[in-house]
Amino acid sequence: MPTIFKLDRKLISFSGKDAEKLLHDTLTANVRALEEKTCQWFALLSPQGKIMFEGQIFRKEDTFYADLDSALVDDFFKRMRLYKMRADVEMTQLGDEMVVGWSSEPTDDAFKDIRPGMGFRHYAPAEEFSSWADGTSAYTQTRFENGIAACPADFEPNSLFAHDIGMDLLPGAIDFKKGCYIGQEVVSRMQHRGTARKRVMQVTAEQPLEAPTTIEVDEKKVGDMLNVSGTVGLALVRTDKAKLGDTFLHGGQPIQLAAPNWASYDLSDS
């Protein structure tokens, strides 16, 4: 039996005959393509294309569940109620009724997180999680190892584009073939014009890192540290300004940058 860690996240359920349409018309992911026992990364964007909320979404029979950081769940619920209008959708905050867990290995009732290296999600009634240990540190370390940024742990709502954190490159997080959704015009323009210049990079160093601070080359800023844990972290870097072979400094300390293993981008060699 794998170790299951409890995460500081909450669930919102969406049911009713218009639930699928509401989610399909607002979120970046194609909820109609959700596979059984699978979680899909999604974002709800502002009209300007910035990430307001990001999380996981999964489906059990005719009910959809959004899995978000506890700090975001109230605002996400209010925002989705605005978009719901008169649609036949019942939205429920599950609060402390359900608990969100994470493990690196599957169980019979686990949901696969299809992002590379991100393991499995577990959803259980509150009375069933007594054996789950707090997993914030382990989960954060796993995110860093796989180059996965999260809101609000690594960046504030409405501060980054979906392309900045690689949602355009990971399976299904953005569906470029479905119809309109909030912020779709900006996302499509960035995709077709190839204008994404800031990208998430993994950071390693010999001494403990600090965040947030800038990353510099020859006293010129090329990026910002998003979050750190000891000697590793995540940064948002201008890939058109940072070059292979540069000496990157963070608070005067040399650091190493590397693109996540799922990324199609890297630092320029010229």
Contact 267, 239 (CB under 8 A): yes
∠ at Cα 143 (181, 227), nearest 5°?
90
* Cα 90–chain centre separation: 25
pTM of the model: 0.94
Which tens digits make up the pLDDT trace of 143-196?
999 999 999 999 999 999 999 999 999 999 999 998 889 999 999 999 998 878
Spatial CA neighbour of 132 closest among 102, 161, 87, 108: 102
- Name the DSSP letter for residue 202: E
CA-CA distance, 199 to 231, in Å (whole number)? 20
CA-CA distance, 259 to 132, in Å (whole number)? 32
- State the pLDDT at residue 269: 64
Confidence label for 115 from pLDDT (cuts 50, 70 and 90): very high
CATH code 2.40.30.110 for 197-258:
yes
Element (H, E) at 50: none
∠ at Cα 9 (22, 196), nearest 5°?
65
Which tens digits make up the pLDDT trace of 14-56?
999 999 999 999 999 999 999 999 999 999 999 999 999 999 9
B/e letters for 60-96, b = 16+ CB within 10 Å, e = fewer, are: eeeebbbbbbeebbeebbebbeeebeeeebebeebee
Contact 13, 91 (CB under 8 A): yes
| Domain chopping of the chain, boundaries | 5-191, 197-258
CATH number of 5-191: 3.30.1360.120
Q: Evaluate if residue 251 carries a pLDDT over 60.
A: yes
